[in-house]
Amino acid sequence: MSPIKAFKSKKELVYEYLRKEILHGSFAPGARIVIDELAATLGVSQIPIREALQQLQSEGFVETELHVGPRVSEIRPELISEIFQLLEALEVISSKAACIRMTPADLNEMERILRRMDDLHEDTERWSQENERLHDWICERAGTTLVKNLMDNVLDQWDRLRHCYLKDVFAHRIDLAQKDHWELFYALRDRDPERVEQVMRQHNQRALAAYVGHLKAARQIA
């Protein structure tokens, strides 16, 4: 048996720092990552920087360009489409399972969450945080461990998307997204898995159309 690690390595600390900065948009899509500058800023050698970048590249957050070096991965329409197609598939599975498993106490808790979100509809950042918690909470109610693990990975990609387009896209979707959330609640309360699936597909497809539409419009203007 391997001994339990009591501390984090420099590579792990660098990885966590870079991942957080990328997910929160501090390192913008397409931005160059200059290894020697980053090493000087963080006070480490280039080795843990390169190791962390390799892990981030395997997760799709970093890409390496020949003769240029590492960059933060661009957010392209194809990536957005993949994110929401995966979310749609995973959330259909988890929400239909939750439809069977949710207790009256769970439904009361979901109603409280949604009412709290109603009160936050003008606070985009806090509403978006509650939105992510809601989707994660529903998946937990499903009891589908493998789906939950897969969804956590996809939600990380979505989290970067959300931060990058918080004002341009996400803020404009709050009212419609919240309407979907209430429709989902009523379908779960009525134990109607077909309606649950319909709402989840509609929810993700609307979001996909909004993000891709914005990105394509922005590229045409540019």
pLDDT tens-digit series, residues 108-126: 999 999 999 999 989 999 9
Per-chain mean pLDDT for the chain: 92
The per-residue pLDDT for 4 is: 45
**pLDDT at residue 208 is higher than 60:** yes
Distance CA 68, CA 60 (A): 18
Confidence of residue 8 (pLDDT cuts 50, 70, 90): confident
Residue 5 has pLDDT above 80, yes or no: no
- Per-residue pLDDT, 97: 98
Domain 77-221 has CATH 3.50.30.50: no
pLDDT of residue 222: 47
Please report the pLDDT score of residue 176 as a whole number: 96
Domain boundaries, the chain: 10-72, 77-221
pLDDT cut 90: percent of the chain above it: 85
Q: Closest Cα to residue 121, out of 166, 178, 185, 160?
A: 178
Q: Which has the closest alpha carbon to 77: 141, 12, 169?
A: 169
Of the pLDDT bands very low, low, confident and very high (cuts 50, 70, 90), residue 220 is low
DSSP E strands in 40-179: the ranges are 62-65, 69-72
> Is CATH 1.10.1370.40 the classification given to domain 10-72?
no
**10-72 against 77-221: fold identical:** no
pLDDT digits (tens, 9 = 90+) for 95-111: 999 999 999 999 999 99
What's the pLDDT score for residue 218? Answer: 81
Half-sphere exposure of 31 (CA within 13 A, CB side): 14
Q: Residue 1: which pLDDT band, with cuts at 50, 70 and 90?
A: very low
Inform me whether the pLDDT recorded for 38 exceeds 60: yes
What pLDDT does residue 66 have? 85
